């Protein structure tokens, strides 16, 4: 690991990981964000235990009923419990956010590393694709592609993931370019390491900090896009409970039952906020000078 010289001045006798942890711990808001994320994942995993009712049980007689003690978030247009649907919606959003960000990360880091390490024509082609992806309003592009390939969970994850890798590619390429010429890489080559080994063992670990920060913020972005897609009807299809789809109903009944629109939106805001806080804290702890 390349160490930040300022860090070593701050705490001369401990390892890099514990330094990062110390700085991260001081960041109260980031800890809060991290805690919220852990709770959200627990909610997603144990949704059937946490939810007071089934998210699919209909109760048409009590449709659009306002929040009460038995149903803290009220009932929807066919009398399903909104709280239970929001709890189950956690699964969709967190899965899509996580997997989409993961796809972006893998694709972006691999292509960025190739571009930086091989250079020449490969670099030229990859970076021109990055330019195109950065130049266009990706959101409209995403809806257009999802509408074309068919709206379902897998496609949504793939399309979001394959659209947002450009920042990873840029960061990794930049890091590889600056690291490629350094002595420790030359030394690795001198003792007979091949290209793949050098990239994986020596160069990539040094791009880890910015990539982790980017990935955290990327999950937040992917969740926002997924909920927007579902809201428009191009995401996960009903009756699967997803936050965006509950909001679609909420828009239809916003005069008679504003509670349907209120709560899933709050859930989205809290989730995205938690990832943003964690990302900010990670950036400050890993590398305060980072600009992502």
Q: What is the 3-state secondary structure (H, E, C) of 165-202?
A: CHHHHHHHHHHHHHHHCCHHHHHHHHCCCCHHHHHHHH
Q: How far is the CB of 291 from other proteins (least distance, A)?
A: 9
Q: How far is the CB of 154 from other proteins (least distance, A)?
A: 16
Contact 74, 259 (CB under 8 A): yes
Q: How far is the CB of 164 from other proteins (least distance, A)?
A: 14
Nearest to other proteins of 138, 218 (CB atom): 138
Q: How far is the CB of 244 from other proteins (least distance, A)?
A: 9
- Residues 260, 75: Cα–Cα separation, whole Å: 8
Nearest to other proteins of 46, 139 (CB atom): 139
Q: How far is the CB of 186 from other proteins (least distance, A)?
A: 29
Nearest to other proteins of 163, 185 (CB atom): 163
Other Cβ atoms within 10 Å of 128 Cβ, number: 10
Nearest to other proteins of 207, 261 (CB atom): 261
The kind and range of the H/E element at 93 are helix 82-118
Q: What is the 3-state secondary structure (H, E, C) of 21-81?
A: HHHHHCCHHHHHHHHHHHHHHHHHHCHHHHCCCCCCCCCHHHCCCCCCCCCCCCECCCCCE
Q: How far is the CB of 130 from other proteins (least distance, A)?
A: 11
Cβ neighbors of 190 (< 8 A, separation 6 or more) are none
- State both tokens at 92: 């969709």
- Residues 168, 57: Cα–Cα separation, whole Å: 43
- Residues 55, 52: Cα–Cα separation, whole Å: 9
In the chain the first and final C-alpha atoms are separated, in Å, by 20
Nearest to other proteins of 204, 223 (CB atom): 223
Nearest to other proteins of 49, 291 (CB atom): 291
Interface positions with other proteins (CB under 8 A)? 128-129, 131-132, 135-141, 143-145, 147-150, 220, 224, 227-228, 231-234, 247, 250-251, 254-255, 258, 261-262, 264-265, 268-270, 272-273, 276-277, 280
């Amino acid at each position: 690991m390349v160490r930040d010289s300022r860090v070593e001045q701050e705490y001369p006798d401990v390892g890099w990981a514990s330094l990062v942890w110390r700085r991260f711990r001081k960041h109260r808001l980031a800890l809060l964000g991290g805690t919220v994320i852990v709770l959200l994942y627990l909610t997603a995993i144990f949704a059937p235990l946490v939810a007071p009712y089934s998210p699919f049980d209909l109760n048409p007689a009590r449709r659009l009923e306002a929040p009460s003690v038995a149903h803290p978030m009220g009932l929807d247009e066919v009398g399903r419990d909104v709280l239970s649907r929001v709890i189950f919606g956690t699964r969709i959003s967190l899965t899509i956010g996580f997997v989409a960000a993961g796809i972006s990360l893998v694709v972006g880091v691999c292509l960025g590393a190739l571009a930086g390490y091989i250079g020449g024509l490969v670099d030229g082609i990859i970076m021109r694709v990055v330019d195109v992806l950065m130049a266009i309003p990706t959101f409209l592009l995403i809806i257009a592609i999802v509408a074309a390939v068919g709206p379902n969970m897998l496609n949504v994850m793939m399309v979001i993931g394959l659209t947002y890798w450009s920042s990873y590619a840029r960061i990794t390429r930049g890091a590889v370019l600056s690291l490629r010429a350094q002595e420790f890489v030359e030394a690795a080559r001198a003792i007979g390491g091949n290209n793949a080994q050098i990239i994986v063992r020596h160069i990539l670990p040094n791009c880890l900090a910015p990539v982790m920060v980017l990935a955290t913020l990327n999950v937040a972005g992917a969740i926002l896009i997924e909920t927007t897609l579902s809201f428009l009807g191009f995401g996960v299809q009903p009756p699967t409970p997803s936050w965006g789809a509950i909001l679609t109903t909420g828009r239809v009944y916003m005069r008679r039952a504003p509670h349907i629109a209120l709560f899933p939106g709050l859930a989205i805001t809290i989730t995205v906020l938690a990832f943003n806080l964690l990302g900010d804290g990670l950036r400050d702890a890993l590398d305060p000078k980072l600009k992502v």
